[in-house]
């Protein structure tokens, strides 16, 4: 018997907005030191004066200092969650693989290799330099994937992209391993960066990454109609007048920018780009216009919940969001796959 989980996209959108507001509030209220809502609201009301330097005694107030420390990580979780989820949606559309994510085409491993090479050979040490190295690595990975997939002539196909992505991913993993195993100093710094976290980001990092992430979202969103046509097959898309090469290049560029920027400021965080678009597709169908818009809301929710749980599970210690995201994502993904298998019977 075939059952359906489909709900109205507008209902899903409304629920997602409410959940995002709730998750944002929880991120500010809860942690190793939980705060009352009134305390958080009072600290937020003082924020403009604090930023203008008109309230120099604010940091002496412990509760206000806690809120000020939580604001950047909350914003980072929202920005990175949206970037990774939208990147996953774009990647699944381009590759026509509902279980694809930026790691499928080697973008994450390219970013990691870029950071490692920057740390080991280029003297990278500041946050913006690490961001540039990660974005450069993702870009090189994208160029290689597209180039290899077109060997023999013709436009890149989903199967060709997946196979070339697997090869590029393996190559970058080998490069990363070779560098970190032969350079102890790089290993120490890379090990710290390689654990996904939203707590290390500073305001300057967000200011640098935000325009790039906005650009990436716009590129993927602009290609939503093209992704819908691609889902019908290349022949049908050609018949509808869709320029597959241009559409794939535009969406893929957006994915590269999103994956590289998000990885640069938070490190590798798995399952957001894989789980969120797949779950949305089960809820509202395969229209990528809705999948991308809802990914911008549900991705941050997952990352905010994962980060908050990591702070409250074993205080005063903190479990990095890269770990808690996997702990949440694996059971949910297995449940979705199990239900998918049951629906196909």
pTM, 2 dp: 0.88
76 inside domain:
yes
CATH number at residue 160: 1.10.3470.10
Domain hosting 259: range is 9-343
Q: How far apart are CA 170 and CA 165, in angstroms?
A: 9
Nearest to 84 by CA among 345, 287, 267: 267
Nearest to 239 by CA among 252, 248, 230: 230
4 inside domain:
no
158 inside domain:
yes
Per-residue tokens: 181: 């195993």
95 inside domain:
yes
Give the model confidence (pLDDT) of 298-339 as tens digits: 999 999 999 999 988 877 788 889 889 988 888 887 887 776
1 inside domain:
no
Nearest to 92 by CA among 165, 12, 148, 169: 165
Helix-helix angle 37-45:62-95, to 10 degrees = 90
What is the pLDDT, as a whole number, of residue 155?
60
Per-residue tokens: 107: 């973008």
Segments in the chain below pLDDT 70: 1-6, 49-61, 99, 152-158, 339-345
Q: How far apart are CA 153 and CA 215, in angstroms?
A: 30
Total structural domains within the chain = 1
Q: What is the DSSP string of 189-205?
A: HHHHHHS--SSS--HHH
3 inside domain:
no
What is the pLDDT, as a whole number, of residue 152?
65
What is the pLDDT, as a whole number, of residue 261?
87
Q: How far apart are CA 124 and CA 136, in angstroms?
A: 13
Neighbours of 245 (CB within 10 A): 11
Helix-helix angle 184-194:158-182, to 10 degrees = 130
User: Taken in order 8, 14, 17, 22, is the CA torsion positive or negative?
Assistant: negative
117 inside domain:
yes
2 inside domain:
no
């Amino acid at each position: 018997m075939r059952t359906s989980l489909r709900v109205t996209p507008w209902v899903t959108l409304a629920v997602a907005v409410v959940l995002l507001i709730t998750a944002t509030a929880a991120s500010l209220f809860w942690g190793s030191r939980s705060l009352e809502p009134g305390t958080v609201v009072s600290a937020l009301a003082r924020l403009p004066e604090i930023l203008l330097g008109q309230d120099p005694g604010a940091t002496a107030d412990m509760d206000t200092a806690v809120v000020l420390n939580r604001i950047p990580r909350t914003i980072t979780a929202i920005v990175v969650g949206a970037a990774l989820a939208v990147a996953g949606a774009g990647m699944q559309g381009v590759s026509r693989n509902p279980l694809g994510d930026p790691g499928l085409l080697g973008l994450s491993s390219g970013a990691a290799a870029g950071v490692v090479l920057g740390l080991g050979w280029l003297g990278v040490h500041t946050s913006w330099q690490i961001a540039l190295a990660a974005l450069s690595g993702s870009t090189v990975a994208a160029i290689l994937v597209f180039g290899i997939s077109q060997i023999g002539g013709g436009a890149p196909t989903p199967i060709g992209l997946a196979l070339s992505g697997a090869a590029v991913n393996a190559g970058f993993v080998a490069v990363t391993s070779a560098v970190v195993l032969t350079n102890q100093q790089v290993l120490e710094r890379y090990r710290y960066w390689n654990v996904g976290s939203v707590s290390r980001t500073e305001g300057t990092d967000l200011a640098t990454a935000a325009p790039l992430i906005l650009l990436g979202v716009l590129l993927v969103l602009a290609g939503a109609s093209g992704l819908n046509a691609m889902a019908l097959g290349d022949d049908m898309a050609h018949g509808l007048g869709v320029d597959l090469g241009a559409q794939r290049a535009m969406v893929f560029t957006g994915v590269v920018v999103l994956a590289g920027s998000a990885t640069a400021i938070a490190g590798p965080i798995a399952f957001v780009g894989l789980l969120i678009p797949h779950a949305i597709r089960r809820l509202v169908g395969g229209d990528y216009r809705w999948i991308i818009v809802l990914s911008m809301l549900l991705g941050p929710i997952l990352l905010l919940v994962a980060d908050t749980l990591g702070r409250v599970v074993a205080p005063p210690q903190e479990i990095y969001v890269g770990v808690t995201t996997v702990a949440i994502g694996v059971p949910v993904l297995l449940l979705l796959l199990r239900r998918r298998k049951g629906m196909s019977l």
